[in-house]
Amino acid sequence: MTDITQENLEQMDRSEDEAQKARLKKAWKTPEGWRYWSAVNNTEVGRWYTAVSFLFFLFAGVLALLIRTQLAVPNNDFLSADLYNQVFTLHGSVMMFLFAVPIFEAFSILILPQMLGARDLPFPRLSAYGFWCFLIGGVFVCGSIFFQVAPQGGWFMYPPLSTQYHEGLGADIWLLGLSFIEVSSLAAAVELIVGILKTRPPGMRINLIPLYAWYILVVAGMILFAFPPLIAGDLLFELERLLGWPFFNPEKGGDPLLWQHLFWIFGHPEVYIIFLPAIALVAMIVPTAAQRPIIGYGWIVLAAVGTGFISFGLWAHHMYATGMPGISLAFFTAASEAVAIPTGVQIFCFLATALAGRFVHSVPMLFVSGALAIFVLGGLTGVMVAIAPFDFQAHDSYFIVAHLHYVLIGGMLFPVAAGLYYFYPMADGKQLSERLGKWAFWLMFVGFNVTFLPMHFTGLLGMPRRVFTYEAGLGFDLLNLISTIGAYIFAVGVVILVWDVVRPKKKQPHARRNPWNAGTLEWLVNMPSHPWSVRSIPIIKSRYPLWDQPNFIRDVDEGRFYLGDAAEEKRETLITSTIDARPIQCLRVPGPTFLGLWAAVFTGGVFIFSTYHWYVAALISGVLGLITILIWLWTGTALIPEKPAKDIGLGVTVPLYLSGDKSVGWWAMFITMIGNMSAFASLVFGYFFFWTVHEDFPPDPSQGPNALWSLVGAGCVLGAWALTLLARQANRKDRAAVFYGALILAALCCVAGGLALFAGPYSSGLDPKSHVYPATVWVLVLWSLVHLAVGLIMQLYCMARRLAGRMTAEYDIDIRNVALYWHFMAITATVTVVVIAGFPRMV
Amino acid sequence: MTLYTSRQIGLNGRHGGMIAPVIAVGGCDLHGPQSALSPAGVGAEQISSLFWWMAGGAVLIWAVVIGIALYATLARPRKKHDVQGARWLIIGGGIVFPTVVLTILLSYGLMLIPKLRSTGNVDLHVAVSGEMWWWRVRYTSPAGEPVELANEIRLPVGKRVSLSLTSPDVIHSFWVPSLSGKVDMIPGRENTLILEPTKPGTYRGVCAEYCGASHAFMAFRVVVMEPQDFEAWLTHQAQPAVSSGSPSARQGEQAFLVNGCGACHTIRGTAADGRVGPDLTHVGSRLSLGAGMLPNDAQTFARWIGHTQQIKPEVRMPSFGMLPEEQLTALATYLSGLK
């Protein structure tokens, strides 16, 4: 009798298990046929993203071979000067903007949710949008070389060469194409920060976060402060090229060094934005290889955060030769030396872990060892060039070319190859070949050193960078030939690696589960994987739950933790509190859509048409893009659930909708606006840079913008802000009349404020083409105006949402996020007016 | 084409000699007319010795770190290393050691900065302007007159020279590796570089900042001479041009004036007073043509005038290939004769 019951129960369990799996499968099904490209799930988007950034890497690698072929012998004419300059510009730009940064975003989109036991990132459509932007922008930039109109100003695009002496489309392609991609990087940064802060599994307090996630958190934070200065710089640059606003033209009070500051305030943190995620991969691989937990978890986290901070204080070491005062040289030399210490701490933590563990050899570890050998040398030459006097010789010579490739290939490419071999089974269910992996490694390792080790001496013998050819007999003919031979050996290694990835693997059996016997959550994945990733979202009690928590895999697989079911057949993942990871919400994430793709096409249109000066087409494309994004927001965000809360298993019930600072959307808005403010701060920095450096700035106080109009403008904007806050309160109290009244008034104030801000410099006749001062005033006003336009659309959107019944007193994400936006709007407008109208009167 | 003799390029720098055995790295001679490792000036000497010390230290540190890594991954000790010992490795190797080494290095590096940049006790001022893609050089003659030259700088040995560096177009960078480090030439600014050559010889300088199509062809020669030779040279350069007066040279002078060369070039003592391109008053006395590109002889001069654009892409001077052969030859004879 008891036996039968037991059997029945087991049968019921099994059928229930099957039913749950079927529902999960239905909810997370990947679309098929041509609709496959509407997928937004992190596993699909992550794989596309990774594949496309690798393609860009191969493209830039071919460009590198062209460079080395040209430089194999002196006085070579394989490439013309013009083509060579396009080739080296694209090589650097593509490697940095289309491979080194995106590959970490791609990897993270692919593996981060798995590491956190989440089903997806909080904004899958945003990931998809970011990917499509990246693809379109990247193809546009790379394609230019086939028409011989590629940018040729170097990846650093120094004015006045690129502003006043390059008349073709190249520089515009670089500026607009790459700005477009920077926007997608910012989108990814927002997505990853919110993902790490809010979608961790229950119990994963901040001291249990996998190191990879810590690193990505640091890096995504750095992106928020590093990319916006470049975007601001791009804006100034493009305004100078298209409209003749003379920001960098010394004849009209401008200064080419402002660009260098903005570029390197971006460019130096960029190096760490590239390096830290690669070290993050090492931090996952080393404990697995040593078969023991990492030693010095806290040290590593502190070192990563420290590196992030210090990296913002080093930018001027790229500018030692510009004639900086001695005191600045000393400061930046000291700061540049200091960054070696946290880097050293991280390396010694890995060594200590390897020392204390039982080491298992594997191809990923081989690449990690190679990375160490290469990177440590690059780091040591980095310490050398950070000393200003040595840099006076090394700067802009092949010594720097050697140094930066040691750092980037050792600190990024080799770890990425290690990560590729390590994580490949997660994405494909199959292992890569150990034999091919070893061949690839040794060819790449030897080829790399043959190429770049001699370059240290090529540089010190006097060969400058970015020369398309050189005179025979200066002492570096043979060194150059050796470098070229090395480059081809390296390329063969890369080809073998690529072959290992793309070779047909139909007959190869699937890898066993957790093939490396790792301890972290991502190795819960089945081989092959299911689209829903984890069967149930586990409770975490250790940094290495697969090693430390008994019966962990079985409990997850049998759906004994959270969200083992998708009762409504909707895509759901768990949101937890930021510090201690208590479950606080069951988040419904949107499914497949082509909206992200269309939005990317239309946004791309704005940038691409502007490059060709087809402004009408750009405008149409912009309007279409705006409409697409509004449809996307309207149909896919802040949806009112059919019930307020849901049982997620283990007797826990959590709400399906949270608004205000508990909602992921609020966090995304907050983080986006932090990035936005750092771009704005860069423009303000520009104003004060000119003021400190140039005596004719401002030329004459009476030439400033009309103070009255500017003050009226600021007043109206502050009014619009206060009214928006009032509308938020009224909505919460469900007082519809006050809500609509306040928002209508707020919208009117917003328009009035915009007009008054415009009237400020307009009424006093400031001509932005005449001098850098009016141009700087106008660019700040322009920045405010664009943001006011966005703020206005947001206000109208909230009215429409409430009218349509998609926003209520209880479900009020929209108005709360808009109110948050308006806080930043109020700051922007106030600072703008204080700077442009107030400051000239204060001094 | 050999513009340098081994004596001219000054073998065996004081500090280079200190670590002479290292000179043959990978079988490569580290001497060259453009080498930072065969110094012939105070700045380059100090930086080169700094480099060798740092390079030695770097190799040592690299070997130790890699040694630890190899031991950690390859050795199979019977007893596992304990975690406490591993922690000491982190503190010792990651914090204490680099802090000590970097502090020493930093102090030394910072002490060098004022030495390299001090503008006191200067014996000679020279103004150099980097222009796409050549060098405008201005001296003051012993008589106090400004003397404009191009693409060649001569300096007296043992004297401190202050160069004021500017640019009218894009950013260039003035670099003579054998004498000292580089300093950028930035439109709208004036930078200073101090040179103190210690050995007579001929050195090569280049533009180190990417400046457009012919960036690779923007070089120059620096000749370091005994002070009395230098004085004589400068006095001569301050004089107006003296043509050889041969029939061909006279025909060349005519061609120069008739074809409008004088709109861009100055030849002091003639009607040519253009300010766009290099001053050609004593062009025949220079060591190279086309900003350090070509040897300076009449045949090459004719080729340069006839094929300027092919030789130096996008340079502002048009090719004068349309001139009859004999005019080109005459021009070349005339200009090469302006010693």
Give the CB-side neighbour count of residue A753, counting CA atoms within 13 A: 30
Residue A528 confidence class, pLDDT cut points 50, 70, 90: confident
The ipTM assigned to this model is: 0.93
pLDDT tens track for A254-274: 999 999 999 999 999 999 999
Name which CATH class applies to B247-336: mainly beta
Residue A792 lies in a domain: yes
Average pLDDT on A342-347 reads: 95
Give the model's pLDDT for residue A303.
96
Instruction: Judge whether A789 and A720 are in contact, CB under 8 Å.
Output: no
Mark which of A143, A176, A201 sits at the end of a domain. Answer: A201
Q: Tell me how close the Cα of B226 comes to any Cα of chain A, in angstroms.
A: 25
Tens of pLDDT, residues A582-618: 999 999 999 999 999 999 999 999 999 999 999 999 9
Alpha-carbon distances of B112 from A171, A330, A336, B17, B105, rounded to whole Å? 39, 11, 17, 21, 11
Q: Closest by alpha carbon to A275, among A391, A474, A401, A416?
A: A416
Q: What is the pLDDT of residue B31?
A: 85
Residue-level pLDDT at A14: 81
Q: What is the mean pLDDT of residues A279-287?
A: 96
Question: How far is A318 from A312, CA to CA, in rounded Å?
Answer: 13
Confidence of residue A411 (pLDDT cuts 50, 70, 90): very high
Tokens of A814: 């929209």
For chain B, domain boundaries: 1-76+118-230, 247-336
Would you state the pLDDT for residue A1? 45
pLDDT above 70: percentage of residues in chain A: 99
Same CATH fold assignment for domains B1-76+118-230 and B247-336: yes
**Cβ pair B32:A454 closer than 8 A:** no
CA distance B334 to chain A (A): 27
Residues of A in contact with B29 (CB under 8 A): 475
Please tell me the number of Cα atoms within 13 Å of B146 on its side-chain side.
7
pLDDT of residue B308: 96
Q: Do A461 and B30 touch (CB under 8 A)?
A: yes
Residue B3 scores a pLDDT above 80: no
DSSP A490-537: HHHHHHHHHHHHHS--SSSPPPPSSTT---SGGGG--SSPPTT--SSB
Chain segment A107-130, per-residue pLDDT in tens? 999 999 999 999 999 999 999 999
Q: Are A392 and A324 in contact (CB under 8 A)?
A: no
What integer pLDDT is reported at residue B22 of this predicted model? 42
Per DSSP, the residues of A661-677 read GGSHHHHHHHHHHHHHH
Contact assignment for A345 to B95 by CB distance below 8 Å: yes
Q: A145: which residues sit within 8 A by CB, 6+ positions away?
A: A63, A86, A87, A90
Q: Is residue A237 part of a domain?
A: no
The CATH number, out of the four listed (1.10.4190.10, 2.60.40.420, 3.30.70.260, 1.20.1090.10), of the domain defined by the range B1-76+118-230: 2.60.40.420
- pLDDT at site A775: 95
Per the structure, the complete domain to which residue A763 belongs is given by 686-842
What backbone phi and psi angles, to 5 degrees, belong to A60? -65, -30
Please give the average per-residue pLDDT across A408-437, as a whole number. 95
Burial class (CB in 10 A: 0-12, 13-18, 19+), A204: buried
Q: What is the DSSP string of A353-421?
A: HHHHS-----HHHHHHHHHHHHHHHHHHHHHHHHSHHHHHHHTTBHHHHHHHHHHHIIIIIHHHHHHHH
Length of chain A: 843
CA distance A130 to A730: 36
| Per-residue pLDDT reduced to its tens digit, B150-207 | 999 999 999 999 999 999 999 999 999 999 999 999 999 999 999 999 999 999 999 9
What gap in Å lies between CA B46 and CA B18, rounded to an integer? 12
- Return the minimum-mean-pLDDT range out of A32-36, A174-178, A496-500, B83-87: B83-87
DSSP B288: E
Q: Please indicate, yes or no, whether residues A626 and A690 belong to a single structural domain of this protein.
A: no
Whole-angstrom distance, CA of residue A304 vs CA of residue A217 = 10
Distance CA A319, CA B314 (A): 28
Would residue A151 count as lying in a domain? Answer: yes
Per-residue pLDDT tens digits for B233-274: 999 999 999 988 899 999 999 999 999 999 999 999 999 999
Average pLDDT over residues A447-457: 97
pLDDT of residue A697: 85
**Amino acid A701: pLDDT:** 62
Q: Does A606 reside within a domain?
A: yes
3-state secondary structure at position B245: coil
Is A53 in the same domain as A156?
yes
> Distance, in angstroms, between B302 CA and closest chain A CA?
20
Residues A234-243 have pLDDT tens digits of 999 999 999 9
Over residues A529-548, the pLDDT tens digits come to 887 888 899 999 999 999 99
What's the rounded mean pLDDT across residues B67-74?
91
Q: A 811-830 residues with CB below 8 A of B?
A: none
What are the start-end ranges of the H helices in A694-812? 707-732, 736-763, 772-803
Alpha-carbon distance B218 to nearest alpha carbon in chain A (angstroms): 10
Which ranges constitute the DSSP H helices of B165-307? 227-238, 247-258, 298-306
CA distance B281 to A241: 39
Alpha carbon distances (Å) from B168 to A27, A678, B133, B220: 65, 33, 12, 18
Q: Are A136 and A605 in contact (CB under 8 A)?
A: no
pLDDT surpassing 70 at residue A208: yes
- CB contacts of B31 in chain A (<8 Å) are 475
Q: Are residues A706 and A828 in the same domain?
A: yes
Same domain, A717 and A791: yes
φ/ψ bin of A285: left (φ > 0), alpha (ψ from -120 to 50), beta (otherwise): alpha
Nearest residue of A to residue B183, measured between CA atoms: A321
Mark which of A151, A179, A201 sits at the end of a domain.
A201
**pLDDT value at A740 more than 70:** yes
* pLDDT tens, position by position, B4-62: 433 333 333 444 444 433 444 445 578 889 999 999 999 999 999 999 999 999 999 99
Same domain, A548 and A593: yes
Interatomic CA distance for residues B132 and B125, integer angstroms: 23
CB contact, 8 Å: A330 with chain B?
Answer: yes
User: What 8-state DSSP symbol labels residue A838?
Assistant: I
pLDDT for res B7: 37
Reported as type and span, the H/E element at residue A648 is strand A645-649
Mean pLDDT of A414-427: 95
Q: What is the Cα–Cα distance from A89 to A466, expressed in whole angstroms? A: 9
Task: Note whether B98 contacts A476, CB cutoff 8 Å.
Answer: no
Buried b (16+ CB within 10 A) or exposed e, A669-702: bbbbbbbbbbbbebbbbbbebbbeebeebbbeee
Q: Quote the pTM value.
A: 0.94
Count: domains in chain A: 3
Residues A627, A694: one domain?
no
In the predicted model, is pLDDT for residue A9 greater than 80?
A: no
End position of a domain, from candidates A201, A227, A252: A201
Mean per-residue pLDDT over chain A, rounded: 94
A637 and A712 both lie in a single domain = no
Which chain A residue has the Cα nearest residue B33? A474
Within 8 A of A376 by CB-CB distance, chain B residues are: 61-62, 65-66
A589 in a domain, yes or no? yes
Name the residue among B90, B192, B314 with its Cβ closest to that of A349. B90
Token digits for A71?
């430089």
Kindly state the average pLDDT of the residues A95-101: 95
Chain A residue with CA closest to B70: the answer is A369
Which residues is B131 bridged to in the sheet?
B134
Give the helix ranges, DSSP H, for B75-162.
83-89, 97-117
Predicted confidence (pLDDT) at residue A379 exceeds the cutoff of 70: yes
Q: Which of A78, A297, A331, A387 to mutate to test the interface with B (most CBs of B within 10 A)?
A: A387
CA distances for A781 relative to A225, A592, A676, A775, A828, angstroms: 22, 39, 15, 10, 10
C-alpha to C-alpha distance for B239 and B211, rounded to whole angstroms: 33
Judge: A337–B69 Cβ closer than 8 Å, yes or no.
Answer: no
- Band of residue A4 on the pLDDT scale cut at 50, 70, 90: low
**What residues of chain A lie within 8 A of the CB of B192, using their CB?**
323
Chain B, nearest residue to A85 by Cα:
B213
Interface test with B, best of A259, A331, A351 (most B CBs within 10 A): A351
Whether A838 and chain B come into contact, CB under 8 Å, resolves to no
Cα separation, B104 vs B50, whole angstroms: 12
Q: Which A residues, 232 through 261, put their C-beta within 8 Å of a C-beta on chain B?
A: 250-251, 254-257
List chain A residues with CB under 8 Å of B184.
321-323
From the number of C-beta atoms within 10 Å of its C-beta (0-12, 13-18, 19+), residue A747 rates as buried
Residue-level pLDDT at A196: 96
* Beta carbons within 10 angstroms of residue A492's beta carbon: 14
**CB-CB neighbors (< 8 A) of B207 in chain A:** 464
Is 80 exceeded by the pLDDT of residue B307? yes
Q: Which of A161, A299, A396 sits opposite B90 (nearest CB)?
A: A299
- From chain A residues 455-514, the ones with a CB under 8 A of any chain B CB are 457, 460-471, 473-476, 478-479
* A356 CB within 8 Å of a chain B CB: yes
Residue B103 above 80 pLDDT? Answer: yes
